[in-house]
Amino acid sequence: MNPSNRKVTVIGAGVIGMATAVHLQRDGHDVTVIDRDAPGQGCSFGNAGILAPSYCVPMSSPGTAWHVPGWLLDPLGPLSIRWRDFPSLIPWFLRFLRAGTASRAEASSKILRDLHINCLTDFQDLFASIGAADLIKPSGCLYAYESQKSLAAHAADWDLSKRRGVRLEMLDGNALHEMEPGLAPSYVAGVFLPDDGQVTSPLAIVEALADHFCNNGGTILRANIQDMDVGTDGPRCLNTDTGSHDLDIVVIAAGAFSGSFAKRLGSPVPLVGERGYHITLPEPGVTVRTPVMHGEGKYVLTPMEMGLRIAGTAEFAALDAPTKYDRARVLLKHVRRMLPGVNTDGYSEWMGHRPTLPDGLPVIAQSPNFPTTFFAFGHSHAGLMGSVITGRTIADLVAMRTPALDVAPFRVNRF
Ligand SMILES: Cc1cc2nc3c(=O)[nH]c(=O)nc-3n(C[C@H](O)[C@H](O)[C@H](O)COP(=O)(O)OP(=O)(O)OC[C@H]3O[C@@H](n4cnc5c(N)ncnc54)[C@H](O)[C@@H]3O)c2cc1C
């Protein structure tokens, strides 16, 4: 196939789809993005905005299984399951636990570090080139602990980070409160990651990519894709609620909803929609200078242009289960405890489906079945930070260039 000037369709206008579309457009392709919503209204709308070159501790690691019962029993804990949906999720959880052996977690941490190590500079370069440099802040990221015991419980994670070459500074209580004076006195220790950063609005990131893409001749179609016609040579046409759309090259970047497309294309994957929540406080009345991660609770406070966002928690349920905002309100309780005197008036709440595979790695790949089909999904907790490298790598694969990133760990048929 001629690798340049192709007609490329990207399914999904989240941060992954839009970053991919911009890179494909820069290679001279005629690119169309299709989404049932406006750009950035899926999971990419409400994330915590963290760009973490330091991100290398896999979700499943040797200690994870021991924490799970305690997390599930704690109504304020970081994990919950809708028990009605649990039977169908058992195979996923078994794979998740298998991914957490010492040797597999060590291997995953290297892959995660290589994937994210340049994410902040990649964002700075890309957004400077599209006139939106002010959306990116090299803020660092702070982890705060309420006891030496809870810091010690995470010592293995910090050792792993150090082995991966992550720069970090251990802080005592005084240094922690000097950095974030608004934190409750009960916080006694911290870890600062100076090389991390943040975006000031996850939605504005996707919108800036979409504006740049459209201003340069790209097309975004609003349509709900209901089915795909697949011939012996590959996918031929999308059937949508607004008509059909012929395909030449297609990139599946539909986030947590990518599983049905992958299956239709002969590459089934164990993808779940891992629910995460946020609340955003428009006028918190307490200053938070850097993103602050609660060391145990797995939620993060990020100062953003629209206020203070508190994001996190993991809830496992069927993709189409109704949204319940109890988990978001747990975050409200946490922030009141963490920042005494915080003003929560006028808060908004949100839920998004993280596209999560049991080994915690995304799929960034060409289809083994059809050379005209590419996959870019499954970025789980790290899709914002992984978006630029994913877009660049998919553009390389479409152009038949050898990507700088080793794509072997991200193949679609690894399960
Ligand atoms: C609470 C929370 C905090 C997070 N914090 C961070 C963070 O700090 N840093 C970080 O890097 N990541 C973070 N993430 C993860 C990150 O947000 C996701 O990994 C990322 O947004 C996934 O992007 P995506 O483009 O793959 O999916 P999405 O943004 O969900 O985009 C997929 C798009 O596909 C469209 N689509 C799906 N099916 C169809 C169809 N049939 N027809 C038409 N359109 C369709 C959807 O409408 C959607 O717009 C967080 C996630 C959550 C939930």
| Distance (Å, whole) CA 133 – CA 130 | 8
Least confident of 68-72, 248-252, 319-323, 411-415: 68-72
When pLDDT is cut at 50, 70 and 90, the band that residue 1 belongs to is low
- Say if 330 falls within a structural domain: no
Is residue 71, in this structure, part of any structural domain at all? no
In the prediction, which pLDDT does 296 show? 84
The answer to whether position 93 is within a domain reads no
Average pLDDT over residues 61-66: 82
Instruction: Kindly give the distance from the C-alpha atom of residue 177 to the centroid of ligand 1, in angstroms, as a whole number.
Output: 34
Residue 237 lies in a domain: yes
pLDDT of residue 70: 82
Q: Which residues contact 183 (CB under 8 A, 6 or more apart)?
A: 144, 176, 177, 292, 338, 339
Per-residue confidence at 3, pLDDT binned at 50, 70, 90? low
Q: Is the pLDDT of residue 355 over 80?
A: yes
Q: Is 15 inside a domain boundary?
A: yes
- The average pLDDT across 293-304 equals 93
First to last CA, the chain: 28
Tokens 């150090």 sit at which residue? 162
CATH code assigned at 398: 3.50.50.60
pTM assigned to the model: 0.97
| CA 46–ligand 1 middle distance (angstroms) | 9
Q: Average pLDDT over the chain, rounded to whole? A: 96
Q: How far away, in angstroms, is 186 Cα from ligand 1 center?
A: 34
In contact, 156 and 164? CB cutoff 8 Å: no
- Residue 23, in any domain of the structure: yes
Helix pair 155-163, 102-116: axis angle to 10 deg: 60
CA-proximal residue: ligand 1, atom 53 (nearest): 276
Determine the distance separating the centroid of ligand 1 and the alpha carbon of 85, expressed in angstroms.
22
Q: Give the angle 113-119-123 at the CA atoms, nearest 5°.
A: 175
What domain range includes position 208? 7-45+204-269+360-410
74-83, 165-174, 254-263, 379-388: the lowest-pLDDT one? 74-83
d(CA 164, CA 111): 10
Tell me how many domains the chain contains: 1
For residue 183, tell me if it sits in a domain: no
Question: Which residue has its alpha carbon closest to ligand 1 atom 3?
Answer: 47
Tell me the pLDDT tens digit for each residue of 144-162.
999 999 999 999 999 999 9
- 138 belongs to a structural domain: no
Q: Which residues line ligand 1 (CB under 6 A)?
A: 12-17, 34-37, 41-44, 47-50, 224-225, 253-255, 257, 276-278, 311-312, 352, 354-355, 377, 379-385
